[in-house]
Amino acid sequence: IDIIAKYDNIMPAIHLPFQSGNDEVLRKMGRRYTSEEYRNLVTKMRNKIPNLALTTDIIVGFPNETYEQFKDTLDMVRFGEYDGCFTFIYSPRVGTPAAKMIDDVTDEEKHRRFDELKAVVEETGEKRCLTYLNKTEKVLVDGPSKRNPNILSGYTETVKLVHFEGDANLVGKIVNVKIKES
């Protein structure tokens, strides 16, 4: 955290999986941290790296996860205000302790929770993206957009994909781009 905060040549981006916002589910998953410890770490990172781009991993429908426990995960997403989330519906993996657990969460319920999680992730992600409006960001130009060869695309220091008009000779360079829409 201190190294990223200190040096401008390191992208202020961290991937920090939390998997579940509920301590009992975390324990069953074999995680060695609590939701409070995770929240304290996120707070520390955001205080030291104000422009931090934070991404995470989340599992929905772990065996015997109750809806109340799932709501703790939604609360963690709202707290973390992630720039991106990799979300997964639990499925057993051979050789893991969880694969031996009886799973009383139906596939239908897992998918319903996944959809609810997706809506909260999209809401908080959009909130983060809106903070970039009308700001000028450094963008490393990758090349032409996949959808429109007349538009360039690249990434900000906080790993935000940006599309903009520009000349092909900008590919591979870092350019300043004013963000006009999210």
> For residue 92, is pLDDT > 90?
no
Strand 84-89 versus strand 53-60 pairing type? parallel
123-144: pLDDT as tens digits: 999 999 999 999 999 999 999 9
Read off the tokens for 43.
């707070």
Name the maximum alpha-carbon separation found in the chain: 58
Cβ pair 143, 174 in contact under 8 A: no
Please report, as a single letter, which amino acid is at residue 84: G
Q: Residue 156, SS3? A: strand
Looking up tokens 């300043």 gives: 176
> For residue 182, is pLDDT > 90?
no
- How is 18-34 classified by DSSP, letter by letter? -B-S-HHHHHHHT-S--
Q: What is this structure's pTM?
A: 0.88
